[in-house]
């Protein structure tokens, strides 16, 4: 598994812990990394960057996801799915140099590992729609 994929998976796990445990970012970091002493610095750094971006822009990210996930509120989505999308949208916003297709593909691979086949299709549709909107805004 590549460095970036591992970072994305760790960021997802951190977001999931914050979401489900209703924990602060500081609490998540303290407990999360206490159990993962052997994570390489570059892997941890990118995971931290995505986690921070997702939390700092959380309200905007959630609004964007809800707008593109027709008839779905965030609290009705599966926790894994909404956090995969949060992680991906944070990366789309925070790392515009990373190609949209790469970010979406990585999110889909992570969804295949951590979620259901139906969720992969849902996540793909929402992220593709968000990605197209962000591309239009850049142009």
Question: What are the tens digits of pLDDT across the range 23-38?
Answer: 999 999 999 999 898 9
Burial class (CB in 10 A: 0-12, 13-18, 19+), 25: middle
pLDDT at 41 over 90: yes
| pLDDT of res. 1 | 66
Alpha carbons 136 and 36: distance in angstroms, whole number: 39
Q: How confident is the model at residue 55 (pLDDT cuts 50, 70, 90)?
A: very high
- 2 pLDDT more than 90: no
pLDDT at 108: 98
> Tell me, what's the pLDDT at 73?
93
Q: Compute the C-alpha angle 20/24/26, nearest 5°.
A: 130
- Give the pLDDT confidence score for residue 37 in this predicted structure: 85
- Residue 69 DSSP symbol: S
| CATH code for residues 3-138 | 1.10.940.10
Question: What is the rounded average pLDDT of the residues 119-124?
Answer: 96
């Amino acid at each position: 598994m590549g460095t970036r994929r591992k970072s994305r998976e760790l960021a997802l796990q951190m977001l999931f812990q914050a979401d489900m445990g209703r924990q602060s970012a500081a609490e998540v970091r303290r407990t999360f990394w206490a159990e993962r002493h052997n994570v390489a610095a570059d892997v941890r750094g990118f995971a931290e960057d995505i986690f921070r971006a997702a939390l700092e822009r959380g309200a905007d990210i959630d609004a964007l996801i809800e707008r593109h996930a027709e008839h779905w509120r965030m609290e009705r989505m599966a926790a894994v799915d909404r956090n995969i999308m949060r992680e991906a949208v944070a990366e789309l916003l925070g790392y515009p140099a990373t190609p949209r297709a790469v970010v979406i593909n990585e999110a889909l691979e992570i969804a295949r590992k951590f979620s259901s086949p139906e969720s992969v299709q849902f996540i793909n549709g929402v992220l593709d729609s968000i990605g197209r909107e962000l591309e239009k805004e850049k142009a």
